[in-house]
Amino acid sequence: MAAEMGGAPLLEVRDLAVAFDTDGGAVHAVNGVSYALREGETLGIVGESGSGKSVHVLAMLGLIPRPPGRITGGQVLFQGRDLLSLPEKALRRVRGGEIGFVFQDPMSSLNPGMTVAAQIIEPLRIHLGLDRRAARARARELLDLVRIPNAAGRLDQYPHEFSGGQRQRVMIAVGIACRPKILIADEATTALDVTVQAEIVALVQDLKREIGMAIIWITHDLGVVAGISDTVQVMYAGRILERGPVDDIFADPRSAYTLGLLRSLPDLTRGRAGRGRLRQIEGAPPDMRVPPPGDPFAPRNAYATARCRSEMPPLVQAKGAAPGHLVAAWYDLPEILSDEAERAR
């Protein structure tokens, strides 16, 4: 995939699978996810709750609680090293150093008992080995960089003294502190007001230009993805159902699930999927303790065929779509849609 686009992949996920053990049996949260991320690429991963979009990135950096979490298979190559077989100590050097994180809820994701300075300084001292004074000076620069006014005066304040948007800026400062190769933003704007969301997205894009890092932007909001990503990847029930260049995904969706997501977007003005009524996807995600044998979306998919219900389709290049536009579907969505349009006429 990334190889097709030229350039060696920075991160390559191969057949990653994650399960959680519960009283009711193992929950298969991630089921064989494979993709690659180029240097400087922004990858938007979209999916609803339970799609495995967050779990799989947390799992690859050893951030899911184990037990009950368990990585049941796969490899994650970061600059050639398999993160999954890395000892915890070496993995710690990657986390926060080469791969930075921004989490969803800036209220609960910052330590309420530590000053903002202490929290920004931490990765600087751990990964860059800066002394206290240098780290503090750098922390001040970082607060400037994420555009917090009067940075010097706010270093010694506690998170509760910042507004929600400012807290997320602090989180971002922590995430980029060591100039990571990859910044993973896990629902980074979900908890924020719409206007603040836009500011944060703009900030991250500026920082990306400045630092030249790759970004994995995880969200359930296709709208945010459209504005920020180079590549979009749609996940459902622990699998990738569709993946491709952002414009192509929006203009020419090949998975019924992607189509459903696009149709549930209110003010989408581009692409043919945007036309028509606002629709909700009927039904609920499958019980992941007993994943369905075929396409996990088949039970909710009006276009599903018998084969969809019995056999999982592979993720392959979509016929007639832009190169790198992959889909996992037995049915041919454009064909079905044009038939539908025909009949409607």
Partner 1 sequence: MLQFLARRLALAVPTLILASMIIFALQQLLPGDTATALSGEERDPEVIAFIRDKYHLDRPLPVRYGYWAAGVLGGDLGESIRLQKSVSELVAEKLPVTLELACLAMLVALAIGVPMGILSAVRRGTWADTLANGVALWGLSIPNFWLGILMILLFSVQLGWLPASGYVPPSESLWENLKAMAMPAFVLGNAISAVMMRHTRAAMLGVLGSDYVRTARAKGVSPLRLVLRHALPNAAIPIITLGALEFGQLLSGAVLTEQIFSVPGFGKLMVDAVFNRDFATVQGVVICTAATYVGLNLAADVLAAAVNPKLRRA
Partner 2 sequence: MSGIDRDGAALLPSPTVVEGRRVPLPREPGTLRAFWRRLRARRSAVVGLVIVVGLVLMAVFAAWIAPYDPTETDWGAVRAAPSLAHPFGGDEVGRDVLARIVYGARASLGAGLVSVALAVSLGLPLGLVAGYAGGWVDGAIMRLTDALLAIPFLILAIALAAFLGPSLTNAMVAIGLSATSTFVRLTRAQVQALAAEEFVEAARSVGNPPWRIALVHILPNIVPAILVQATLTIAAAIIAEASLSFLGLGQQPPEPSWGAMLNVAKNFLDQAPWMAIWPGLSIFLAVLGFNLFGDGLRDALDPRGRT
Q: Give the Cα separation of 345 and 337 in Å (integer).
A: 12
* Ramachandran category for residue 7: left, alpha or beta (phi over 0 → left; psi -120 to 50 → alpha): left
Q: Does 164 bind partner 1 (CB under 8 A)?
A: no
Q: Does 113 bind partner 2 (CB under 8 A)?
A: no
Q: Does 112 bind partner 2 (CB under 8 A)?
A: no
Q: Give the Cα separation of 285 and 32 in Å (integer).
A: 18
Q: In what order do the strands lie in the sheet with 316-317?
A: 99-102, 182-186, 214-219, 42-46, 231-236, 239-245, 326-327, 316-317
**Alpha helix stretches (DSSP H) within 107-193:** 116-127, 132-145, 151-154, 164-176
- Per-residue contact track with partner 2, 160 to 199, x per CB under 8 A? --------------------------xx------------
One residue of 78, 103, 162, 250 binding partner 2 per CB under 8 A:
103
54 vs 229, beta carbon nearer partner 1: 54
Buried b (16+ CB within 10 A) or exposed e, 248-265: bbbbbbbbbbbbbbbbeb
We find the least distance from the C-beta atom of residue 102 to partner 1, in angstroms, to be 9
The single-letter code of the amino acid at 156 is D
We find the least distance from the C-beta atom of residue 139 to partner 2, in angstroms, to be 25
Q: Does 87 bind partner 1 (CB under 8 A)?
A: no
One residue of 54, 197, 233, 255 binding partner 2 per CB under 8 A:
54
We find the least distance from the C-beta atom of residue 79 to partner 2, in angstroms, to be 26
Q: Give the Cα separation of 290 and 258 in Å (integer).
A: 23
Element counts in the chain: helices (H) and strands (E): 12, 12
187 vs 295, beta carbon nearer partner 2: 187
- Per-residue contact track with partner 1, 250 to 289, x per CB under 8 A? ----------------------------------------
One residue of 6, 112, 149, 276 binding partner 1 per CB under 8 A:
112
Q: Does 211 bind partner 1 (CB under 8 A)?
A: no
We find the least distance from the C-beta atom of residue 185 to partner 2, in angstroms, to be 12
Q: Give the Cα separation of 280 and 53 in Å (integer).
A: 21
287 vs 340, beta carbon nearer partner 2: 287
Q: Residue 27 binds which one of partner 1, partner 2, none, with CB within 5 to 8 A depending on kind?
A: partner 2
Q: Give the Cα separation of 199 and 94 in Å (integer).
A: 28
Q: At which residue do the structure tokens 């909001």 appear?
A: 221
We find the least distance from the C-beta atom of residue 225 to partner 2, in angstroms, to be 16
